[in-house]
Structure 1
Amino acid sequence: MYNAQLPTDGSTAPMGTSIGSGVFDQRTDRHRNERIRCLLKSFGLRTSLIRLKVIDALLSAAEQERTLGVRGLHSQLLDLDIPLSFLSVREVLKRLCNEGVVTLNADKSYSLTPQAFAALRGE
């Protein structure tokens, strides 16, 4: 259907708005995901959606100087409408621990290793 308010050049964004004007800036999300992809590649791991989301959640927690357990991480992902099973999250965390991306703390919480955190921060 024709809408006179939409541009006719094939784009769907109304004139005068920017893509990043919403709650989330898509360019920042893409840049963050690119850094996570590079991190996974440097550790010899393939990129998957669940790994991206788990590492992103751990990075956010680290930036806020807190740690997350499996249950906390799982519920945080569910709150973001990312339907992953508890077991999937646990298995991804185990694999990331085995590869040295994530560390299991004494209190059963998980955090990024200092090397992974520095790589993601661009240090």
Structure 2
Amino acid sequence: MHNPQMPTDGSQQQCASTFQPETGLLDATTPLQGNERIRHLLKCFGLRTSLVRLKVIDALLTAAGNDRRLGVRGMHSHLLALDIPLSFLSVREVLKRLCSEGVVVLNSDKSYSLHPQAEAVLIEA
């Protein structure tokens, strides 16, 4: 039987694996960074990861870190300023879906923020 990975000149090639994983990479206690935290959050709430969801949640985290609140228009403007070409409707629909799933809450001033349970998941991650 022909194996395309084996040399065809009849010689036997020995492959030695030099990859040694670092224990820290596989350690469950290693904190998640960047988008991995958001991916973990979405997974905990039973949601699939999408670029729009990643960007919207990242923008909410950035705004919260700067003591700001964003509504749909503010979120859309913020994303456009970062050269993230998402339509206003996409942003609005993602925020509505994240609200319905309990990841995000709509505040009385029509701004959005992460639900306290979602914040807890991010802190644990």
Residues 59 and 117, structure 1, Cα contact 8 Å, conserved in 2: no
Structure 2: tracts of 5 or more residues without a match = 1-31
Q: Which runs of 4+ in 1 moved over 4 A?
A: none
Residue in 1 that maps onto 2:25: none
Matched residues in 1 for 2:122 and 2:63: separation?
Answer: 13
Bigger Cα displacement from structure 2, 59-68 vs 92-101: 59-68
Percentage of identical aligned residues: 76
Q: Which of structures 1 and 2 has the larger relative contact order (alpha carbons within 8 angstroms, sep 6+)? A: 2
The normalised TM-score by structure 2 is: 0.71
* Alignment correspondent of 2:118: 116
Q: Helix, strand or coil for the counterpart of 2:37?
A: helix
Does residue 31 in structure 1 map to residue 28 in structure 2?
no
Please tell me the root mean square deviation across aligned C-alpha atoms, in Å: 1.4
What amino acid is aligned across from residue 91 of structure 2 in structure 1?
Answer: V
Q: Distance in 2 between matches of 1:122 and 1:65?
A: 21
Task: Give TM-score scaled by structure 1 length.
Answer: 0.72
Which string of whole-angstrom CA distances, capped at 9 and with x for unpartnered residues, describes residues 7-46 of structure 1?
xxxxxxxxxxxxxxxxxxxxxxx82100000000000000
Q: Deviations over 1:53-83 (max 9, x none)?
A: 0000001111222210000000000011100
Q: Which has the higher helix share?
A: 1
What letter is aligned with 1:75? S
**What 5-or-longer segments of structure 1 have no aligned partner?**
1-29
Separation (CA, whole Å) in 2 of partners of 1:73 and 1:39: 20
Q: Flag the structure with larger Rg.
A: 2
| 1:118 shift after superposition | 2.4
